[in-house]
Amino acid sequence: MCSYPYGWQSTAVKVFEARDLIRRGARRVDVVVNVAKLQTREFQFVETELIQLAQACHESGAKLRAILQTQWLGEEQKLVVCKITKRSETDEA
């Protein structure tokens, strides 16, 4: 799992963690979506980050699953992040 529990690590660190997990044999990478960015409505940041992570996983044949800490999100934020995960080619959310 990358960036547990709050998803606050930088995108570069998350991508490094994902590639490291895949190099060690992971076929699916779970990543925690940055809760703070969702709360501050920085949705483009979240989407760009998930796109980069999906590319890093898919180029190695691994799947990406986005973990959402929904207890800190409002209904609108939950709906938006679901749309983001779909657009970013995240395999599961």
What average pLDDT values come out for the chain (93 residues) when binned by 10 residues?
Answer: 92 98 98 95 98 98 96 93 96 92
Structure tokens that stand for 51 in this block:
């796109």
Q: How many CA atoms lie within 13 A of 71 on its CB side?
A: 2
What is the distance between the alpha carbons of residues 4 and 40, in angstroms, rounded to a whole number?
19
What pLDDT is recorded for position 93?
A: 86
Domain ranges of the chain: 11-87
Task: Please enumerate in sequence order all residues whose Cβ is within 8 A of that of 87, keeping only pairs 6 or more positions apart, or say none.
Answer: 47
Tokens of residue 16, six digits: 């490094």
